[in-house]
C-alpha cells in the first residue's frame, strides 16, 4: 500500500508539474483528490491494514494530500499570472499611433468680420437687430427720402420682385423698421448686419450680392461729434490704434449733412469704407420721430471692403466661391 501511495505521489506531482492550462489542473484535482479520486480510493483499502500500519499509512496519505494540494495551488497561481500577462499584452494600447483627426470648420471670413464689428458696437451700447432681405419699396426707398423719380435710385440699380417689393439695396431699410417699432418716443441705438443686392456686373470689386452693417442712433441732443467719436473708436478697434480717419462731404438723400468716411491705408492711401450723416428730418418725421425734439446719426459700412483691407484680399469674388484654399486661411480669425 505504501508503494501504491508513493507511485501515486510521483505520478500526481509530475502531472501537476506538466500541466500548462488551468482546466488541466482542475481535472487533476478531481482525479487525485476528489471524492472518487485515486487517493481516496487507495485510502478506502485502509481497513485491511493492521493496527500498527494504519496510522503510518494514514499520516503518509495526509502528507501526500497536503503536498499535492500545495503543488496544485502553486501551479494554479503561476498559470493565472501567465494568463493575466497574456491578457495585458493583448489589450495594450499603442499610444504612438496617430489619432483620428476630426475636421473642424471655421467661421467664413465675412461672418467673422461681422461678429468682430458687432462686438465693437455692442461694447458701445448698441443693440443688434436684423431686417428682411426681401423689402418693400416703401422702406427701402420712399421713407428714406428717395421718391420714385429721385436720381439716387439710379445709384442703386434694383432687383424688383413686383412694383412694390424688391431685394433690399442697402441695410438702411432697417432704420425705418426700427424707428417704427420703437414708436417715436424711445431712444434708438442699433446696428443691423445683412446681405444686400444690386444689379451690378460681378468683377473684382463689384458683386450683385454683398454685405453691409447699418448703424442708427436717435435721441435728444445727438450730435455729429458723437458720430465722429463712434466711428473713430470703431476704426481704431478694427484696423488698429492710430489708424487715421477723414470725413469728406457727400450726399445721401436720408442724411443731412452727409459724409463719406475714409481711412488711411499704408499702401492704398485714403480708402473709403463707409457712408454716414445726420438723419434727415424728413426721415425722422416719416418714421414717427419729431425732428424738433429728436436728432440722430446713421452710417452704412461695407463689410467686404473692411475684410478686403484688413486681410489684403484683392478680389471680392473670393468671398462667394467657397474655395477651401481661400477659406482655410481664416481658420484662426
Ligand atoms: N445706404 C448707403 C449705401 O448703401 C450707405 C449709407 C450712407 C448708409 C449713409 C447710411 C448713411 O446710414 O447715413 O450706399
At 111-122, the pLDDT tens digits run 999 999 999 999
- Report which ligand 1 atom has the smallest distance to the Cα of 170: 4
Pick out the chain residues at pLDDT < 70: 332-333
Does the CB atom of residue 276 touch ligand 1 within 6 A?
yes
Asked, for residue 242, whether it belongs to a domain, the answer is yes
User: Could you tell me if 205 and 238 lie in one domain?
Assistant: yes
User: Could you tell me if 152 and 273 lie in one domain?
Assistant: yes
Q: What CATH number does residue 179 fall under? A: 3.30.930.10
Distance from the CA of 259 to the center of ligand 1, in angstroms? 10
Q: At what angle do helices 53-91 and 22-33 cross, to 10 degrees?
A: 170
CA gap 78, 16 in Å, rounded: 12
pLDDT of residue 101: 86
For 4, the enclosing helix (H) or strand (E) is helix 2-18
User: Could you tell me if 51 and 180 lie in one domain?
Assistant: no
Q: At what angle do helices 224-239 and 109-122 cross, to 10 degrees?
A: 130
Distance from the CA of 31 to the center of ligand 1, in angstroms? 100
Does the CB atom of residue 275 touch ligand 1 within 6 A?
yes
Asked, for residue 96, whether it belongs to a domain, the answer is no
Closest CA to 218 of 145, 126, 297: 297
Asked, for residue 104, whether it belongs to a domain, the answer is no
User: Could you tell me if 19 and 151 lie in one domain?
Assistant: no
Distance from the CA of 333 to the center of ligand 1, in angstroms? 27
Tally the domains of the chain. Answer: 2
Asked, for residue 263, whether it belongs to a domain, the answer is yes
- Report which ligand 1 atom has the smallest distance to the Cα of 171: 1
For residue 79, the enclosing domain spans: 2-90
Does the CB atom of residue 252 touch ligand 1 within 6 A?
yes
Pick from 23, 58, 90: which residue ends a domain? 90
Cβ-Cβ contacts under 8 Å for 295 (sequence gap 6 or more): 218, 219, 220, 221, 222, 223, 278, 279, 284
Asked, for residue 101, whether it belongs to a domain, the answer is no
Mind listing the pLDDT tens digit for each residue in 3-45? Answer: 888 888 888 888 888 888 888 888 888 888 888 888 888 778 8
Pick from 63, 90, 117: which residue ends a domain? 90
User: Could you tell me if 194 and 124 lie in one domain?
Assistant: yes
Amino acid at each position: 500500500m505504501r508503494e501504491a501511495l508513493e507511485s501515486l505521489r510521483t505520478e500526481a506531482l509530475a502531472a501537476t508539474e506538466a500541466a500548462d492550462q488551468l482546466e488541466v489542473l482542475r481535472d487533476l484535482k478531481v482525479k487525485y483528490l476528489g471524492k472518487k479520486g485515486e487517493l481516496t480510493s487507495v485510502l478506502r483499502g485502509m481497513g485491511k491494514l493492521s493496527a500498527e500500519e494504519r496510522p503510518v499509512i494514514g499520516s503518509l496519505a495526509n502528507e501526500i494530500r497536503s503536498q499535492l494540494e500545495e503543488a496544485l495551488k502553486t501551479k494554479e497561481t503561476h498559470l493565472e499570472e501567465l494568463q493575466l500577462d497574456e491578457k495585458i499584452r493583448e489589450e495594450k494600447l499603442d499610444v504612438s499611433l496617430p489619432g483620428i483627426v476630426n475636421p473642424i470648420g471655421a467661421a467664413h471670413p465675412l461672418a467673422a468680420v461681422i461678429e468682430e464689428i458687432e462686438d465693437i458696437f455692442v461694447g458701445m451700447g448698441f443693440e443688434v437687430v436684423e431686417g428682411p432681405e426681401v423689402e418693400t419699396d416703401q422702406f427701402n426707398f420712399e421713407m428714406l427720402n428717395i421718391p420714385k423719380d429721385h436720381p439716387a435710385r439710379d445709384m442703386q440699380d434694383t432687383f424688383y420682385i413686383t412694383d412694390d417689393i424688391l431685394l433690399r439695396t442697402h441695410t438702411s431699410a432697417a432704420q425705418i423698421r426700427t424707428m417704427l417699432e420703437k414708436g417715436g418716443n424711445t431712444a434708438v441705438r442699433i446696428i443691423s448686419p445683412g446681405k444686400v443686392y444690386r444689379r451690378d456686373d460681378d468683377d473684382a470689386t463689384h458683386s450683385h450680392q454683398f454685405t453691409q452693417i447699418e448703424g442708427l442712433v436717435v435721441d435728444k441732443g445727438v450730435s455729429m461729434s458723437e458720430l465722429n467719436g463712434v466711428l473713430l473708436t470703431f476704426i481704431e478697434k478694427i484696423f488698429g490704434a492710430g489708424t487715421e480717419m477723414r470725413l469728406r462731404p457727400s450726399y445721401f438723400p436720408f442724411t443731412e449733412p452727409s459724409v463719406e468716411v475714409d481711412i488711411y491705408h499704408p499702401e492704398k492711401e485714403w480708402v473709403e469704407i463707409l457712408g454716414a450723416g445726420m438723419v434727415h428730418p424728413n426721415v425722422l418725421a416719416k418714421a414717427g420721430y419729431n425732428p424738433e425734439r429728436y436728432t440722430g446719426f446713421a452710417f452704412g459700412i461695407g463689410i467686404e471692403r473692411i475684410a478686403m483691407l484688413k486681410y489684403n484680399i484683392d478680389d471680392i469674388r473670393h468671398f462667394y466661391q467657397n474655395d477651401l484654399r481661400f477659406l482655410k486661411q481664416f481658420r484662426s480669425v
